[in-house]
Amino acid sequence: MKRLLPLLIFFTFPPLTLLAQELPQGYFASPLKGDIGLSATFAECRIGHFHGGLDMRTGGAVDRPVYAVADGYISRVSISPWGGGKILYIRHPNSYTSVYMHLNGFAGETGRLVREEQYSQQSFSIVKDFNEGQLPVRKGQLVAYSGNTGGSGGPHLHFELRKTNTGHTINPLRFGLPYHDSMKPTIRGLKIYTINNKQTIDVTDNNTLTVNSPFYIGVYATDAAEGSTPKNGTDHIEVLLDGDLFFLYTTESFNLDSSRVVNALVDYPLFAAKRQAYILTRALPGAEGDWIPVRQGDGIFRLAPGTTHKIQIRAYDIKDNYTERTLTVTMSNNGIAASDFNTMESGDYVDYTHAVTIRRPAFSAEMPAYTLYANDLMHCAFKEDSRYYSPLCTIEPSINAIPPHQHYKLNLRGKIPTGISTGNVTLVRIDGKRVVAYKTTYSDGIFSASVRDFGTFALTCDTVPPKVSLTNYKEGKPLKARVLKIKISDDLAGIETYNCYLNGSWILAEYDAKSATLFIDTQGKLRAGQNELRVEVADGCGNLTRRTFTISR
Ligand SMILES: [Zn+2]
């Protein structure tokens, strides 16, 4: 890492490559038997976060045994229909915690305790902490079964190694897990973004070009490995200017709490549209976090007029295989100086380090400090639309089209038709054909929601209760399947609560949000003859559906 020394380092964090040497090598085993194949690498860019661990392939199937990666004790189990689904945490005595997500189930005593907790709380979703001594585990002990629960896009095991006291997640492959990768990364795209006239130049095919403005570079690279899927993330990216390191993007470790800054490190509009993560060399001052790229200055190339320079772009995988592209860039003599704001842009000026409230007759937006990543001009617009109880209110930044870093409060005024209760009114964002509802509160003629998006908002109502239907059972016939499936859906506000009662007693129904299905394991629960199953599902506006089915055994 000698090359780092002459650089102006923006933020004071030690070069993270030093970290690898301090990590215990060989202490942790793989949580799965056999060679490690990945369907996603550590710190891959996702919308709104970096991927916090490894996605380990499980051969397209669920219920593969998952083993404790080292001695320790099970410290927590959490279950949710979203996100990581069924999650197991093991705390190890060497200050690390291993985390296993999207599980199908928990082995032995853990499974029994989890079920007991669900019945005691009468809830599928739980978070349960365990003390040291309650559920000790040995390295290699069966602890769970892999699955596809929560927001998983196919069967796999999501595996993390976190520093227990700080919540930092670290690439598990840095601990010497057995992993083969002899295949070089692929640089799939390079873009040059000019500052003055905001041009984006695709340099995928040409290696020699002339620019007339300061610029920054975007790099889109992926990596493949033996047994892995072909478009996983790279480990690090270097950009060199005339042989000196200009930009270094590393992915060894990051704090899970600040991972939303990913939106500001990539070309966000392109990423949102095409899921191609062009990592940008330019810095936005509010996107620091504690895991940040290292740059010269603000990551903008300011080359002297009439000069020609060599720019090398290298994408590395974790085994240091790399691919390089070399550009020859000439700054023309009539280069234009960069200005912060284009004269065409207008709006409310926001200093991102200060809290600000943007007020218009129909709405206000109360943005805390650091909602944006840089100073910007907020653009507001209104349009009457008879389908809604308020005008369509648009609020978005003019300069950096990136979602807010944190929640802000949006307040809308509207005309609510007589007969509609304010409790059924909901604030929504209109995103093309998609309408997204927010948890909405009402006070003094104003409807408010905490939102973490920019875009077009309006008021509407949800008076339609959720739909509930049995999908694998016809009433009047004996039940053949062990697991009863119930489809539940809501048109707008979304499912808020779901409870099932068999012959009057609460029964566990596992909710899978992505398939909109409740699963009830009936084994040992049904009595001979007829059983009454009551299903109660409510949406976020309090509309309740209560249906009773007769199940015959
Ligand atoms: Zn994952």
Question: What whole-number percentage of the chain has pLDDT above 90?
Answer: 85
Question: How far, in Å, is the centroid of ligand 1 from the Cα of 428?
Answer: 29
Token code pair at residue 161? 């190694």
pLDDT beyond 50 at 5: no
What is the separation of C-alpha 277 from the centre of its chain, rounded to a whole number of angstroms?
A: 14
pLDDT of residue 38: 97
Label residue 433 by pLDDT band (50, 70, 90): confident
Query: What whole-number distance in Å separates Cα of residue 236 and Cα of residue 44?
Result: 11
pLDDT tens digits, one per residue of 199-213: 899 997 789 999 999
pLDDT beyond 70 at 142: yes
Question: How far, in Å, is the centroid of ligand 1 from the Cα of 544?
Answer: 34
Cα-atom radius of gyration of the chain, to the nearest Å? 27
Question: How far, in Å, is the centroid of ligand 1 from the Cα of 106?
Answer: 18
Please, which residues bridge with residue 91 across strands?
73, 97
User: DSSP letters along 460-475, please?
Assistant: EE--PPPEEEESS--T
Question: How far, in Å, is the centroid of ligand 1 from the Cα of 435?
Answer: 27
pLDDT beyond 80 at 337: no
pLDDT of residue 198: 84
Quick one: average pLDDT of 477-491? Answer: 95
Across the chain, what does the average pLDDT equal? 92
Question: How far, in Å, is the centroid of ligand 1 from the Cα of 258?
Answer: 17
Tokens 């907790």 correspond to: 117
Question: How far, in Å, is the centroid of ligand 1 from the Cα of 61?
Answer: 16
pLDDT tens digits, one per residue of 259-272: 999 999 999 999 99
Contacts of 518 (CB under 8 A, 6+ apart): 485, 486, 488, 498, 500, 509, 510, 511, 512, 535
pLDDT tens digits, one per residue of 160-178: 999 999 989 999 999 999 9
Contact at 8 Å (CB) between 88 and 67? Answer: no
pLDDT of residue 335: 59
pLDDT beyond 80 at 14: no
Question: How far, in Å, is the centroid of ligand 1 from the Cα of 41?
Answer: 8
Query: What whole-number distance in Å separates Cα of residue 268 and Cα of residue 205?
Result: 23
pLDDT beyond 60 at 249: yes
- With b meaning 16 or more CB within 10 Å and e meaning fewer, what string describes 507-521? bbbbbbbeebbbbbe
pLDDT beyond 50 at 7: no
- With b meaning 16 or more CB within 10 Å and e meaning fewer, what string describes 155-166? bbbbbbbbeeee
Query: What whole-number distance in Å separates Cα of residue 235 and Cα of residue 44?
Result: 9
Contact at 8 Å (CB) between 210 and 235? Answer: no
Question: How far, in Å, is the centroid of ligand 1 from the Cα of 158?
Answer: 4
Query: What whole-number distance in Å separates Cα of residue 252 and Cα of residue 255?
Result: 11
Question: How far, in Å, is the centroid of ligand 1 from the Cα of 165?
Answer: 22
Label residue 289 by pLDDT band (50, 70, 90): low
Label residue 258 by pLDDT band (50, 70, 90): confident
pLDDT tens digits, one per residue of 389-424: 999 999 999 999 999 999 999 999 999 999 999 999
**38-40 and 45-46 as β-strands: parallel, antiparallel, unpaired?**
unpaired
Contact at 8 Å (CB) between 110 and 74? Answer: yes
Quick one: average pLDDT of 429-444? Answer: 93
Token code pair at residue 416? 């609510």
Contact at 8 Å (CB) between 64 and 58? Answer: yes
pTM, two decimals, is 0.92
Query: What whole-number distance in Å separates Cα of residue 341 and Cα of residue 346?
Result: 9
The alpha helices in 14-65, defined as continuous H runs, are: 17-22
Question: How far, in Å, is the centroid of ligand 1 from the Cα of 52?
Answer: 7
Token code pair at residue 81? 């229909």
Query: What whole-number distance in Å separates Cα of residue 324 and Cα of residue 150?
Result: 38
